[in-house]
Structure 1
Amino acid sequence: MRICIVTDAWHPQVNGVVRTLDTLRGELKRSGHKVLVLSPKMFRTLPCPTYPEIRLSVNTPFRLSAILRRWQPDAIHIATEGPLGWAARRYCRKNGLAFTTAYHTAFPEYIAARSRLPARWFYPIFRRFHAASEGVLVATPTVRDQLSDKGFERIVPWTRGVDTRLFHPRPDARFDLTGPIQLYVGRVAVEKNIEDFLKARVPGTKVVVGDGPALSSLRQKYPDVRFLGALFGEDLAQAYAAADVFVFPSKTDTFGLVMIEALACGTPVAAYPVQGPLDVLGPDGTGPFANWSKPVAALNDDLDTAIRQALTLDRGDCAAFAQNYSWNTVTEQFVTALRPLPVEESHPLPLP
């Protein structure tokens, strides 16, 4: 099948959406599918206001239409609700083409965190975006229930996976810092609630991996924290494996792929008992799987308590637990959810 994935989130951005879609592309190709990722790299872009690391595509309607008409995909999946996502939605609606979407990010809550306006003001926009979709792919039951309560329809489960070929224990990985090493990986931004982690009082060294609009101010405010910037591939996996505990302070993430990546590297997780961690790790830290009963994470309304509890957990259990998040399942769910388009005579573009 020729699959087009439309996404406003792509390299060089560093986040769970990009890693999920990039790995998905590889898995689809290994399964024999042809994949076109229609991303901002194919368009002229401008920096997003207040968030210059994110590039917003411009001149999208005409170029996007030309690419899709010439490449003639068998199925279209719109992964994000940005300029490219809206342009692809308009194209599909205009031409009577079915498509699927995904709810990767709780954007209404993110916008609320940055604007201090109520999140409920923004939900109608996102509900309208997804209303025309043949299937809205969501990662967890909590997100499914939340969206259903807000009037979203045709919600389809789509779990997440971890690349255990990259993320796995490395017994020799070390930070030359005073332990215990407490690690955060993700965007350095207000919506990630990162200051709750930076204010935690557990002795040791805090390490932050990632970039974002709050990086400069937090570096000045917390001089004892080691800010390493964005890391990729082996360097990122080494950082996970070298930490004693992975701290996930976000209260708005729909899943939190970084938690599974950390666990795959043998590092236990400390988090709040909120959406994302509750679905992925369970209230008692043993996860949602019937065949698993050992704690790999500590969830507590007091983050210091969660960190201390997580530091006592077995690293071997953490790595074994992450094996439950199989990319075979992720890929199968994605392909099953797609809605094939009518077959037309085409002159496809070369694959990128």
Structure 2
Amino acid sequence: MRLLLATDAWHPQVNGVVRSIERMAEAAVGLGVEPLMLTPADFASLPMPGYSEIRLSLVTRHRVLSRWKALAPTHVHIATEGPIGHAVRAACLSLGHAFTTSYHTRFPEYLAARAPVPEAWSYAWLRRFHAAASGTMVSTPSLERELTGRGFTRLMRWTRGVDTELFRPRDGDALPGLPRPIFLSVGRLAVEKNLAAFLSLDLPGSKVVVGDGPDRARLQALAPEAHFLGALTGEALAKVYASADAFVFPSLTDTFGIVLLEALASGVPVAAFPVTGPLDVIGGTRAGALDSDLRAAALAALAIQRDRCRAEALRYTWAESARQFYDNIAQAHALGPMHRTARRPSGAALPRPG
């Protein structure tokens, strides 16, 4: 399999989409797959207005077809719905080539938080984008149910993993001197992440925020007593996770939340709202607390045993995630391009990997 992986999300972005794609590319060789990356690094690009970390590629159909000829892919996966995703989708349609997609981001909610665009319009646009794919991958059962209710079809399950060697309980304290308990949040500092809901809570001890983004100045002004550490990666990030007493995840719009697994793997209980993502990762596990009252969830998380959190995280591996990902691609491409099989029932389900 020579797999063209097309993504608009790439470095210097630090988010779950980039990490997931990186992990799939790393696992490819061991599964007999040659990954062929198509990212913003391959094109001239401009910073997204108000969010310079995200680059908008200046893609042309001619350039994509030229790259296609050079790479000669046998399979195609489109990870995002941005300029690169649209250009590769158009190339697949014109060449009669099957492709798969994945649904990572609640774009309609993110757009509605920034501009007066009805969510129904955005979902109609996304539904059309993914309808031409032979399969669309989603990360959780609750997201699959939601998108099915919105008219999306041919959905396939693709879970996520966590590096349990890097993210693990550790001795020592990477946050010395901070009053306990320490409530930690990790993620992009942007309006859709709902960090204000965490920072406005009346909690004992200390609040620590790891990450950067366009909303940082506003959030720091909102909570001057909180400790903003900026973006961290690798060992530095893992040590901060392991030093926290509870992980607070205030997002209402994430489709999964890899940071949830990183916290659990570090032995840190999670507090979150009972929404898609936390419901699937935390619900029913006793490794965290879900409550529409986020303060109540944060305080309840402090009583959870850390070894229970670690045990739950060990159920998620990147090896299993990669197996699902490549099995999905093989099965979906075997069906052929959807626009060439118009008589196929629109709701036809794909077999799910075991």
TM-score between the two structures when normalised by the length of structure 1 = 0.91
Amino acid corresponding to residue 19 of structure 2 in structure 1: R
One-letter amino acid of the structure 1 residue matched with residue 292 of structure 2: D
Q: Pairwise mapping of residues 168-247 of structure 1 onto structure 2 (< 5 A)?
A: 168-176=168-176, 177-247=178-248
* Per-residue CA distance 1:261-307 (angstroms, 9 max, x = gap): 1101111100001111111111x4x1xxxxxxxx1100011111101
Give the counterpart letter for 1:318 in structure 2. C
- The 5 A counterparts of 1:11-22 are 11-22=11-22
| Mapped partners of 2:142, 2:120: distance in 1 | 17
Partner of 2:69: 69
Distance in 2 separating the partners of 1:241 and 1:41: 34
Provide the C-alpha distance between the structure 1 equivalents of 2:116 and 2:293, rounded to a whole number of angstroms: 24
Q: Distance in 1 between matches of 2:46 and 2:269?
A: 39
Taking only aligned residues, the RMSD between alpha carbons, in angstroms, comes to: 1.5
Secondary structure of the residue aligned to 1:255 is coil
Q: Deviations over 1:71-114 (max 9, x none)?
A: 11121100000111001100111100000000011111111122
* Aligned residues of 1:60 and 1:83 also touching (Cα < 8 A): no
Counterpart of 2:259, as a letter, is V
Q: Which amino acid aligns with 1:320?
A: A
Question: Displacement of 1:59 after TM fit?
Answer: 3.3
Cα offset, 1:341, TM superposition:
8.4
8 Å CA contact 1:181, 1:206 repeated in 2: yes
Deviates more, 1:99-108 or 1:320-329: 320-329
Pairing partner for 2:295 from 299, 304, 308: 304
Task: Indicate if the aligned counterparts of 2:195 and 2:219 stay in contact, CA closer than 8 A.
Answer: no
Contact 1:162 1:322 in 2 (8 A): yes
**Structure-2 change in CA distance of 1:3 and 1:77 (3 Å):** same
Paired residues for 1:134-149 under 5 Å = 134-149=134-149
Who is 1:131 aligned against?
A: 131
Deviations 1:179-212 (A, max 9, x none): 2111111111111111000001111111111111
- The C-alpha deviation readout for 1:195-236, integer Å capped at 9, x for no partner, is 000001111111111111101222223211111111111111
Question: Which residue does the alignment assign to 2:339?
Answer: none
Q: Which has the larger displacement, 142-151 or 263-272?
A: 142-151
Whether the 8 Å contact between 1:189 and 1:215 is mirrored in structure 2 is yes
Verify the 8 A CA contact 2:59 2:83 in the aligned structure 1.
no
Taking a change above 3 Å as real, the CA distance of residues 196 and 251 of structure 1, as seen in their structure-2 partners, is same
Match of 1:349 in 2: none
Superposition deviation, residue 340 in structure 1: 4.7
Letter in 1 for 2:55: R
Q: Which moved more, 1:79-88 or 1:156-165?
A: 156-165
1:157 Cα deviation after fit: 0.8
Please tell me whether the aligned partners of residues 74 and 340 of structure 1 are also in contact (alpha carbons under 8 angstroms): no
SS of 2:239's equivalent? helix
Shift of 1:29: 2.5
The one-letter code sitting in structure 2 at the alignment partner of 1:309 is A
Deviations 1:29-82 (CA, angstroms, capped at 9, x unpaired): 233321122111111110112211111100343322212211111211000001
What is the SS of the residue equivalent to 1:122? helix
Counterparts of 1:247 and 1:114, CA distance in 2: 24
**Secondary structure of residue in 2 paired with 1:3:** strand
- Residues 219-256 of structure 1 show CA distances to partners (whole Å, capped at 9, x for unaligned) of 22321111111111111111211111110000111111
Letter of the 1:297 counterpart = G
Aligned equivalents of 2:268 and 2:333: distance in 1? Answer: 41
2-side partners of 1:239 and 1:65: how far apart? 45
Report whether the alignment pairs 1:334 with 2:325. Answer: yes
1:316 to 302, 307, 311: 307
Structure 1's unaligned 5+ residue stretches are 287-294, 343-352
Counterpart contact for 2:17–2:104, Cα < 8 Å: yes
Q: Is the 8 A contact 1:99 1:133 kept in 2?
A: yes
Identity %: 51
| Pair 1:61–1:228, CA change in 2 (3 A) | farther
What does 1:51-70 correspond to in 2, within 5 Å?
51-70=51-70
